[in-house]
Amino acid sequence: MPEDQTTDTRLGSAKDMLLSPIRTAAAIRNDRYKSLKVRIFFTVGTLAGVPLLIVTAVCFFWLHAVLVDDFSRQLRWQMEHAQEGLESFLQDRVSSTRYFASVHSYGALSKEQSLRTIFRKSKQEFPELIDLEVLSSGGKRVSYAGPYADKSSNYANHDWFIRAKVHGVAISQVFPGDRNILHYIIAVRQEMPGREGFWILRASFDVETLTRFVAEIELSDRDDAFLVAGNDMLQTTSRLHGAALERVSLPVLSQQKVVSIAKIDDEVVGKGIFGSVKVQGSPWTLVAIIKPATLARIASMLKREILAVYLVIVFVAIGILMNYRTTQRIVNRIRETEKAREEAIAHSEHSAKLASIGRLATGVAHEINNPLAIINEKAGLIKDLFEVHPESSGCQKEFLPLVNAISDSVGRCRTITHRLLGFARRMEIDIEQINVNEVLREVVGFLEREIVVRNIRLELNLDDKLPHIESDRGLLQQVFLNIANNAMDAVKDGGEIGLSTMTATEGGLKIVIRDDGAGIRFLRQKRREGARDSGFPCHTASSSDLAERLRLTVFCTRERRLPSFSRSVRTSRRTDNETRKRASGR
């Protein structure tokens, strides 16, 4: 590998090592701001969103309770309607059976031919009628009309027969009987005319009539309604519990005529609304179980109010956007505040360093002045000795130039130490009448040696007619020195630097410090990108502060007519207390 390439590689590695802590600190700072932005966003969102969520939850549960209550009222109304219809139906069948038993004599009904005639007529009016049968007081068949004539039984021990014998009328539970067909019985008692004793007319009805009345309750696919006898015997088919005559486990059923509504939660049904009501005059209880589809109802309501839903979504989106913008604004404000604080700390540290340098310069100047005074006195003594002893004229020609050189060097050193003392003593502003040209010449004196060593051509074009200004000599000198140092750093060996002063057209003075260096990296980048050149502050942090304190405007611009950069300083002759700082381009 060539030596130049190796050197460049090493310089690049060293540069990366020096800049890596700065980049790491910047990355950490950016990560911290990102984390802060996320935390503020979610904190503000939580503070704004939690109350909204609470209100939404309260409204949801309130609406849910209202809908459940509405479902309960609808269920109550439908069950009352089904109860009234079923009771009316049963009362009508009981009345019809009583009518047949009272209109026709026992003698006529005991004859099967007459009973069949009555059955055929009744079948036309009541299609659900299965058969008719006349029973003696002992429960034996006297006559029968229907499709099951071969079947004969003694009903003396049947529950419905006993209740009909005691109460005069009875409605049985649903049962299959000897025919293995689900049916229920309506039995009425009729006294024997002119003698003691009674007989019973039994009418059997298909259970499907009961199912039709239960079906009048409007149910969804998840709901259920059925008749139950006692507390656990199904009388009609149930969607959740199975077919008729199966045993079920249910809550306590209502034995009143008023519909009872309660909430239920078991393994078979799950959560739902349970309603029950006693069918008067029968052994049955009407039961209905519904599972309120509150969510579906709410969705249906929202679908009807789609405009309101869209407005809510828009407001929520606007709230999120405003939260994001507010968070970004807060983080940017924090970033600017921290940047200003860091700059203030850096400025304070820099001021402390300058104060330390001033104290150090004072000490160094005092320490050097004493030996210089001794050297100067000794050199003067040697001159006096040469004058006192003229006989040493041979040595005088040889040593006198050396003594004069010593005196000149002492004078030069004294000038430098006086400058250091003047620089150190002017750390605080001391306003006085100043000739800017003299200040610039002093600055050139500080840089004279470096200018000679680097073979830099210095062009001075100072206007002798410049008016004096009121300012601080030391601080003004420091500003010029900083900008001149920038120019020295910008030019190569053998380059050119120009200093000129003139009266500004808008009042005040104008000092131009020009160099033919490569320019500032930012401006070079802007030129490569095709951007338009624009003036901007080009001084260091210390120059910026001093210029502000001295009411100076410092800006940097690129002259299109010259392959160089000009650094211009304008200073006002006014002595007001306002401080201003502006950047302008040429």
For 501-525, the pLDDT digits (tens) are 888 776 678 888 888 887 655 445 5
Mean pLDDT of 20-32: 71
- Report d(CA 445, CA 454) in Å as an integer: 15
Express each pLDDT in 455-492 by its tens digit: 888 888 888 888 888 887 777 877 888 888 888 888 88
Cβ(517)–Cβ(487) under 8 Å? yes
- Report d(CA 574, CA 471) in Å as an integer: 10
Band the pLDDT of 569: cuts 50, 70, 90. Answer: very low
Q: State both tokens at 357.
A: 């340098």
Q: Which of 81-85, 220-224, 268-272 has the lowest mean pLDDT?
A: 268-272
Has residue 335 got a pLDDT over 80? yes
What are the C-alpha distances in Å from 359 to residues 352, 362, 447? 11, 5, 22
Give the whole-number percent of the chain exceeding pLDDT 90: 13
- Dihedral, 168, 173, 177, 183 alpha carbons, nearest 10: 100
- Report d(CA 356, CA 338) in Å as an integer: 27
Which comes out higher in pLDDT, residue 535 or 207? Answer: 207
270 forms bridges with which residues in the sheet?
A: 266
Per-residue pLDDT at 193? 78
Domains, the chain, with CATH or none: 25-304 (3.30.450.20), 426-571 (3.30.565.10)
Per-residue pLDDT at 306? 76
- Report d(CA 565, CA 521) in Å as an integer: 12
The 284-290 sheet, strands edge to edge: 233-234, 224-229, 284-290, 270-278, 260-266
Q: State both tokens at 241.
A: 């519990």
Question: Within its chain, how far is the Cα of 511 from the centroid?
Answer: 55
The DSSP output letter for 66 is H
Has residue 452 got a pLDDT over 70? yes
Residue 290: HSE in the Cβ half-sphere, 13 Å Cα cutoff: 23
- Report d(CA 260, CA 495) in Å as an integer: 108
Per-residue pLDDT at 93? 92
Per-residue pLDDT at 535? 37
Q: Please list, in sequence order, all residues whose beta carbon lies within 8 angstroms of the beta carbon of residue 398, skipping any fewer than 6 positions away.
A: none
Has residue 533 got a pLDDT over 60? no
Per-residue pLDDT at 470? 84
Q: Please list, in sequence order, all residues whose beta carbon lies within 8 angstroms of the beta carbon of residue 432, skipping any fewer than 6 positions away.
A: 470, 471, 472, 473
Q: What is the mean pLDDT of the chain?
A: 78
Task: Count how many residues are written for the chain.
Answer: 586
DSSP H/E element including 152? none
Whole-prediction pTM value? 0.52
Per-residue pLDDT at 572? 44
The angle subtended at Cα 279 by Cα 278 and Cα 284, nearest 5°, is 85
